[in-house]
Structure 1
Amino acid sequence: MLNLSENKESGVSWLQADWPAPEWVDARVFTRCGGVSQGAWRGLNLGLHVGDQAADVERNRRLMREVLAHNYRLQWLRQVHGTDVVDIDTAADNPPVKEGDAVCIRQPGDGAVIMTADCLPVLFTDQEGTVAAAAHAGWRGLVAGVLENTVAAMQRPPETLLAWLGPAIGPCHFEVGDEVRQAFLGKSPDSESVRHSIAQAFSPLPETGKWLADLYALARSRLQAVGVNEIYGGGLCTYCDDKHFYSFRRESVTGRTASVICIKAR
Structure 2
Amino acid sequence: MTSWPADWLVPAWPAPHRVRACVTTRDGGVSQAPFEAFNLGDHVGDDPQAVAANRQRLQDTLGRAPAWLKQVHSTVVVRAEAGACPEADASWADELGVACAVLTADCLPVLFCDREGSQVAAAHAGWRGLAGGILEETVTAMAVEPGRLMAWLGPAIGPGAFEVGGEVRDAFVASHPAALQAFTPSHNDGRYMADLYCLARIRLAACGVAAVYGGGFCTYREPRFYSYRRAPSTGRFASLIWLE
Q: Fold-level match, TM-score > 0.5?
A: yes
Partner AA of 1:239 in structure 2: Y
1:76 to 68, 76, 79: 68
Deviation at 1:13, TM superposition (A): 3.8
Question: What is the correspondence of 1:110-129 to structure 2 with a 5 Å cutoff?
Answer: 110-129=98-117
1:187 to 148, 153, 175: 175
**CA-to-aligned-CA distance 1:40-97 (integer Å, 9 cap, x gap):** 10110000100000100111112212321x2x24210000001000123xx7x8x721
Counterpart position of 2:158: 170
Deviation at 1:129, TM superposition (A): 0.7
How many equivalent residue pairs? 242
Deviation at 1:206, TM superposition (A): 4.5
Give every structure 1 segment of 4 or more consecutive aligned residues whose post-TM-superposition deviation is greater than 3 Å: none
User: Is it true that 1:221 corresponds to 2:199 in the alignment?
Assistant: no
SS of alignment partner, residue 115 of structure 1: strand
Deviation at 1:229, TM superposition (A): 0.4
Contact 2:77 2:141 in 1 (8 A): yes
Counterpart position of 2:239: 259
SS of alignment partner, residue 229 of structure 2: helix
Counterpart position of 1:99: 87
Partner AA of 2:13 in structure 1: W
How far apart, CA to CA, are the structure 2 residues paired with 1:73 and 1:258? 13
SS of alignment partner, residue 140 of structure 1: helix
Counterpart position of 1:154: 142
Partner AA of 1:116 in structure 2: T
Distance 1:99 1:165, change over 3 A: same
How far apart, CA to CA, are the structure 2 residues paired with 1:67 and 1:74? 11
Distance 1:108 1:200, change over 3 A: same
2:214 to 216, 226, 233: 233
How far apart, CA to CA, are the structure 1 residues paired with 2:234 and 2:9? 20
2:77 to 85, 97, 100: 85
Counterpart position of 1:191: none
In the alignment, structure 1 segments of 5+ residues that lack a partner are 1-5, 189-194
SS of alignment partner, residue 123 of structure 2: strand
How far apart, CA to CA, are the structure 1 residues paired with 2:74 and 2:18? 29
Calculate percent identity across the aligned residue pairs: 51
How far apart, CA to CA, are the structure 1 residues paired with 2:29 and 2:65? 21
How far apart, CA to CA, are the structure 2 residues paired with 1:212 and 1:43? 30
